[in-house]
Amino acid sequence: MDVFEAIRTRRSVRKVKPDPVPQDLIEKVLEAATWAPCHFLTEPWRFIVLQGEGRELLGEVYVELLKEQLENTAEEESQLKLNQQMEKAFRAPAIIIVISSPSVKPHVIPREEFAAGCAAIQNMLLAAHALGLGAIWRTGHALTHPRTKEIFQLKEHEEVLGFIYLGFPDQRTIPVKRTPYQSKTTWIHHKTTKSEQTVT
C-alpha cells in the first residue's frame, strides 16, 4: 500500500474478528515500530505481545481499576461489572503493549524518548493497516496504574505508552474529515515581525 494512501485511509478499528492474527503479521508490525526516528539511536522502546490466556494479565489491570470505584456497589452488581472489565482484554486476539524505555544517559532528553515511542506506535498502526489488519491505540488510567507496572515488570524509569489492539477488521470504515493543513500552517519566507506573519 502506498504510504500516502495508508496515512489517509487508516482508521482506529474498535471491532475485530476473534480469528488469531498470524505471528508473521504481528512481527511485521513490531519491525515497523523499530524504524521510528529516535535521537542518538537510543531505540527507547520495548514490546509485550498478549495472546490467548495471556490477555488475562491486562484484564487484571482493568479489574483492579474498577474495584477502586465499587466500594458502595452491591456484590452481585459488582461481580457483573468486574467480569465486563475482564472481557475488555479479550476484544482483540492480540494486544501489543508498547513500553517507553528511555535511555538514562545524561545527554538524552526524556521528552524526546517519549516522542520516539509515539512515533513507533504510528508506524505500527500504519503497518497494521497496510497488512489488512485493524488496530486501535488504547490508553487511559491503566497505562499509569501501579498494578500495570507490577504485572508487566516495568522498570522504575519505564512507562506504558499504549495498548495496541490488533485483529482482522469486523466493521465498516467510516470516512472522516480532517481540518486542511492550510488553516494550521504558517509559512515564513523571510525574517518578519510577529504581526507580519500570516497563516495561509
The verdict on whether residue 10 carries a ligand-binding annotation is yes
What's the pLDDT tens digit per position in 98-146? 999 999 999 999 999 999 999 999 999 999 999 999 999 999 999 999 9
Give the span between the Cα atoms of 80 and 66, in whole angstroms: 11
User: How does 63-95 read in b/e, with b if 16+ C-beta sit within 10 Å?
Assistant: bbbbeeeeeeeeeeebeeebeebbebbbbbbbb
Answer yes or no: pTM beyond 0.85. Answer: yes
| CA angle in degrees (0–180, nearest 5) for 148-152-157 | 80
The verdict on whether residue 183 carries a ligand-binding annotation is no
pLDDT of residue 198: 60
Cβ within 8 Å of residue 103, ≥6 positions away: 40, 42, 44, 113
pLDDT of residue 27: 98
Give the span between the Cα atoms of 39 and 117, in whole angstroms: 11
Domain that holds residue 115: 3-196
| CA angle in degrees (0–180, nearest 5) for 106-110-114 | 150
pLDDT of residue 73: 65
Per-residue pLDDT of the chain (200 residues; tens, 9 = 90+): 899 999 999 999 999 999 999 999 999 999 999 999 999 999 999 999 999 999 999 999 999 999 888 776 667 667 888 999 999 999 999 999 999 999 999 999 999 999 999 999 999 999 999 999 999 999 999 999 999 999 999 999 999 999 999 999 999 988 889 999 999 999 999 887 666 666 55
pLDDT of residue 122: 98
The verdict on whether residue 148 carries a ligand-binding annotation is no
CATH of residue 135's domain is 3.40.109.10
Report the number of distinct structural domains present in the chain. Answer: 1
pLDDT of residue 194: 66
Query: Which helix (H) or strand (E) is 191 found in, with range?
Result: none
The verdict on whether residue 138 carries a ligand-binding annotation is yes
The verdict on whether residue 39 carries a ligand-binding annotation is yes
pLDDT of residue 195: 63
The verdict on whether residue 12 carries a ligand-binding annotation is yes
The verdict on whether residue 11 carries a ligand-binding annotation is yes
